[in-house]
């Protein structure tokens, strides 16, 4: 059994889901933001993906924020990122059967806020 890793970087960090919660008729703003994130991830993945989509993968998402404000990581669920990885040919599927582990962490980089995605696929 072998592994292979791919690293992707998206400039900036996504908006917190709190931005869309509890507001009437804000679902369309979330949908637009998710579609943009999906398209950006797909673009990155199409230009750098494994020969075959991974049937099993470990995914690490690190959000590099500009400041040290308190943030709940569960408000940054990477739905658009996972969809983009599937559409871009990195993952076979984004179901629990394909994603062995999904980790979301945070860090600070005042000069270069970004979202880094590391996908480690397992070949059986």
Tally of domains in the chain:
1
User: Higher confidence at residue 54 or residue 32?
Assistant: 54
Q: At what angle do helices 27-46 and 79-87 cross, to 10 degrees?
A: 40
Statement: residue 106 has pLDDT above 80: yes
Outline where 19-78 has alpha helix (H): 27-46
- What confidence score (pLDDT) does residue 75 get? 85
CATH code at position 102: 3.30.1330.70
User: Higher confidence at residue 33 or residue 51?
Assistant: 51
The pTM score is 0.89
Mean pLDDT of 37-43: 92
Domain that holds residue 116: 2-123
Per-residue DSSP letter, 54: B
Statement: residue 25 has pLDDT above 70: no
User: Which of 67, 44, 58 is closest to 5 using CA atoms?
Assistant: 58
């Amino acid at each position: 059994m072998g592994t292979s890793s791919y690293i992707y970087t998206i400039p900036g960090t996504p908006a917190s889901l709190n931005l869309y919660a509890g507001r009437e008729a804000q679902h369309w703003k979330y949908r637009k933001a998710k579609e943009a994130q999906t398209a950006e991830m797909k673009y990155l993945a199409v230009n750098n993906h494994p020969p075959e989509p991974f049937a099993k993968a470990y995914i690490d998402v690190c959000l590099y924020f500009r400041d040290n404000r308190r943030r709940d990581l569960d408000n940054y669920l990477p739905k658009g990122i996972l969809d983009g990885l599937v559409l871009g040919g990195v993952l076979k599927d984004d179901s629990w059967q394909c994603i062995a582990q999904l980790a979301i962490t945070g860090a600070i980089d005042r000069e270069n806020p970004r979202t880094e995605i590391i996908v480690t696929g397992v070949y059986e």
